[in-house]
Structure formats: structure tokens, C-alpha cells
Chains A and B, each alone.
Chain A
């Protein structure tokens, strides 16, 4: 590949950001990314009932508006489908609430650019970062981190991280029906492993976002644990997910 073509290809990435009612926060998140890169930012407003879409568009993002709330995973998948159609070679997925520090984008995308791995997952805990999660959430992360580590045979420190960089191959996988749009996290790492994709974790900084967690209440965390265990279990039973 000529150097110019390589350069061109490396430049071809988009930041994909699902957002649900993030008005008042999304502009500063986009401004933060703009300080790091001038690449396209695709915001998927997940049926937001506030001005999220308008704010994101005003801040210079390409905005996709879902007519109603589909949930985090489905919104994210919409972004991947769009990115594939538009021919982006690489993508960085991150949260819209400012939890993910944009300076991490560079560390995340570089191993994917160099074709060392297919996916890089930003971890809060690789070098014992300063991220403080509430106790129950921390236990959940630890528990699913442990399960993913046992199954993949390598240390997974942050299985719930939504801060990732990936190449087109993974975009295609994430855009397929095999992608669990209902809380994608530890089960996705196990699917990546079972399908033989190369991935690694890289230390990133995450801020304690002052947002209502998607795991709030009692029913939702219980359902989350049930869904994740079942999803991991059936993933292990599926032949198509086998190397």
C-alpha cells in the first residue's frame, strides 16, 4: 500500500456516540473531541425528548435521529450501520455524557490503525485508574470481568467499557444480528474471543459522569445480571461463535 493511500485510510474514521437526553452536556463532549481530532462525529439521538439532536448538530456532529428510544446497544448499532454505508474504515465508540475522556481516542485507535488488533477497549482499571464506581456496580464489573477473564483466558479488567476503537471487520460484526443490542458488554468480549477477533485493553481516563445510570433501581440491575449470564451461557453453546 502506498504511503499516501495508507495515510488516507488512517484518516478515515468516525467517532460514534449514542445519546439519550444529553442536552446541556453533548456540546461540551463534542467540543472536547474536537480538541483531539477533526474527524467526523456521528451522534445517534436515541429518541431524545430534549434538544440533544439540535445541540449536537449545532456543535458540528452528523446527527441520526431515532424516532423513539431503542436503547443504548441498538442506537450504537445504528451508528455502525451508517458508518459502514458511508465507507469509514475505523470507528471509535464513546459515551455522550462526558464520561470518556477524549484524549483517550488516540491511544485507542492507534493499535487498530497499526493492525495489531481488531478492537481496543478502553479500561478504567488496567493501571488502577482513579475511577470510582459505586460499590454494587463495582462488584458487577468485577464479577463479569472475572467470568470474561476465565472464558477468554486473559485478564479482562473492564468488561462494561463502552469506550472502544475498532476496524471495519468489527463494525460489520457489530452491525449484524449476532450483536446483543440489549446491554452489550461482557458478552460481546466473549463473542469477539470465540470468533477469533484480536482485541486488547488500553488504560483510559473516565470521569464519574453525573448521569442517571442505566443500571439504576433494583429491577434493572437484576435483569442486567440475568441477561448477561444467559447471554454468556448461550454464546458458549453457539457453534457460530466458535473459532
Chain B
């Protein structure tokens, strides 16, 4: 991994971290939804700074270059975040349905 790649990854990781904190501060993002995002940013930072771990992981998953490993983990986190959303949306859908039904019944009363 070149120094340039390292710096770019660090800036992205740290940037993500700061943007998420700022969104929580402005109440644009609930703490609950910030967890996976912050973890993603943190992992990128840790893996870039602790290069041995990144190399070990690269070897462990059989990837060719450390950048691939970073990509794979980034992709994995995005998948997890999407799964988290799918679960939440499913629940929200049910709740909206229940609320709409309750309101309809109350209005009729």
C-alpha cells in the first residue's frame, strides 16, 4: 500500500467519522443509526494505522493486496448497514400500517 493510498484511506475514514458525529450532534441522525457508520470509519482508520493487522487479514482471506481487503471490509459493512435498514424498514412498514388502521377505527368511533 503506497503512502498516497494510506493518506487517502485515512482521510476517508476520519472524514466519515467526523461527518457522522456532526450529523448526530445536529440531530439529523439518531445514535442508533450511527453505530455501524462509526464502526466502519473506525475500522478503516485502525486497519490503515495498524498495517500488520491489515496484512495478516489480507493473508487470512487470501486476497492479493491490502487495498482489496479494505474494499472487502468496506463492502461488508455496507451490506450490514443495508441489512440493518431492511430490518428497520420492515418494522416501520408494519408500524405505519398498524397506526393507519388504528386511526381509521378511531375516526369511525
Contacts and interface: CB of A to CB of B under 8 A. Distances in A.
Instruction: Specify whether A and B are partners.
Output: yes
Interface in A51-73: 67-68
A227 B25 contact: no
What does DSSP make chain B's interface, helix, strand, loop or mixed? helix
B32 A182 contact: yes
B95 A227 contact: no
A166 to B, nearest CB: 22
Contacts of B102: 67
B31 A230 contact: yes
Interface residues of A, number: 15
Contacts of B25: 234, 237-238
Size bin of chain B's contact surface: 10 to 19
Contacts of B30: 182
Interface of A: 67-68, 177-178, 180, 182, 223, 226-227, 230-231, 233-234, 237-238
14 contacts: A67-B95, A67-B99, A68-B94, A227-B32, A230-B24, A230-B31, A230-B34, A230-B38, A233-B21, A234-B21, A234-B24, A234-B25, A237-B21, A237-B25
Interface of B: 21, 24-25, 27, 30-32, 34-35, 38, 94-95, 98-99, 102
Given A230-B31, A234-B25, 13 more contacts: A67-B98, A67-B102, A68-B98, A177-B27, A178-B27, A182-B31, A226-B31, A227-B32, A227-B35, A230-B38, A231-B31, A237-B21, A238-B25
